[in-house]
């Protein structure tokens, strides 16, 4: 297996897909199966387990012979620090996310590869989300107002260079809004940002324990 110790510019994957999860063994196979279905295959997967006490590790074992996947475990650090662990362990040219209760269309990575290959100057690509379920969430800045998810900064849609994360010192350990904060800090330092409207990230709101269904914030 390619690791941080033995990769080269010639064998490093184009994408590192970071999946942060906690007690989602029941629905995690849906996310991982959508990776198996990708038309573009040059990627690794980093499954960051934030202290699950369910069958998450056994789901990893089920998929480890089907995907280039690594399992990382730490105990109740929260989403931002779980993201940072995945980023620091990644070897891909670009880093992206897949929330454990979401999935990708089969052409998701292919379309992003085509965009990034055509625009190598881009530091951060985002956008392109299709919502399954209620398309509205409370505004993170004003919980009394409802806004469309497509108008939010959805961290799951991010594709960025590892160098950008280093410049920003990763995601801040915020209770909510870590992806919006990351985006705003990237913009402040003059990062080259591109938005896409190719809606291939499937944002699924059918789980009662989804963050957006239990908190007055945009979903992470």
Dist. CA 101–CA 174, nearest whole Å: 21
Judged against a pLDDT cut of 90, whether residue 102 lies above it is answered with yes
Question: Residue 220: what pLDDT?
Answer: 32
pLDDT at 217 over 60: no
pLDDT bucket at 218, cuts 50 / 70 / 90: very low
pLDDT tens for residues 126-136?
Answer: 999 999 988 88
Report the half-sphere exposure of 192 (CA within 13 A, side-chain side): 8
Q: Which residues contact 9 (CB under 8 A, 6 or more apart)?
A: none
Span 23-77, pLDDT tens digits? 999 999 999 999 999 999 999 999 999 999 999 999 999 999 999 999 999 999 9
DSSP per residue over 169-209, as a string?
Answer: TS----SS-HHHHHHHHHHHTT--EEE-----EEEE---TT
Q: Averaged over 112-126, what is the pLDDT? A: 98
Cα(203)–Cα(142) distance, rounded to whole angstroms? 22
Structure confidence at residue 138 (pLDDT)? 78
Residue 47 to residue 19: CA distance in whole angstroms: 5
Distance of CA 101 to the CA centre of its chain: 11
Residue 214: pLDDT above 70? no
Alpha helices, H only, the chain: 28-36, 56-63, 79-89, 108-118, 162-168, 178-188, 211-214
Residue identified by tokens 């280093």 is: 166
What pLDDT score was predicted for residue 1? 60
Q: 139-186 pLDDT, tens per residue? A: 878 878 888 888 889 999 999 999 999 999 999 999 888 999 999 999
Average pLDDT over residues 175-199: 96
Residues 186, 179 contacting (CB under 8 angstroms) = no
More confident residue, 89 or 5: 89
Q: Is residue 88 predicted with pLDDT exceeding 70?
A: yes
* Torsion 19-113-44-187 (CA) sign: negative
Quote the pLDDT of residue 47. Answer: 98
Q: How far apart are CA 196 and CA 209, in angstroms?
A: 28
Distances (CA, A) of 135 to 114, 202, 212: 28, 12, 11
- Do residues 88 and 10 lie in contact, with contact meaning Cβ atoms separated by under 8 Å? no
pLDDT of residue 140: 79
Instruction: Identify the bridge partners of residue 129 per DSSP, sorted by sequence position.
Output: 201
> Is pLDDT at 83 greater than 80 in this prediction?
yes
Q: Is the pLDDT of residue 7 over 60?
A: no
Report how far residue 3's alpha carbon sits from residue 7's, in angstroms, rounded to the nearest whole number.
6
Does 114 have pLDDT greater than 80? yes
């Amino acid at each position: 297996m390619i690791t941080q110790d033995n990769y080269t510019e010639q064998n490093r994957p184009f994408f590192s897909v970071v999946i942060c999860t906690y007690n989602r063994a029941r629905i995690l196979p849906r996310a991982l199966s959508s990776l198996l279905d990708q038309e573009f295959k040059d990627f690794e997967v980093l499954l960051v387990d934030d202290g699950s006490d369910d069958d998450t590790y056994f789901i990893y074992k089920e998929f480890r012979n089907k995907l280039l996947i690594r399992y990382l475990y730490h105990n109740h650090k929260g989403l931002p620090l779980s993201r940072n662990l995945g980023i620091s362990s990644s070897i891909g040219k670009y880093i992206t996310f897949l929330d454990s209760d979401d999935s990708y269309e089969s052409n998701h990575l292919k379309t992003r590869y085509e965009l990034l290959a055509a625009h190598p100057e881009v530091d951060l690509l985002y956008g392109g989300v299709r919502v399954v379920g209620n398309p509205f969430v409370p505004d993170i800045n004003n919980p009394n107002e409802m806004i469309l998810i497509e108008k939010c900064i959805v961290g799951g849609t991010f594709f960025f260079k590892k160098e950008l994360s280093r410049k920003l010192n990763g995601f801040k350990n915020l209770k909510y809004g870590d992806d919006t904060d990351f985006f705003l800090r990237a913009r402040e330092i003059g990062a080259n940002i591109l938005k896409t409207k190719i809606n291939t990230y499937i944002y699924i709101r059918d789980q009662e324990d989804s963050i957006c269904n239990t908190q007055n914030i945009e979903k992470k």
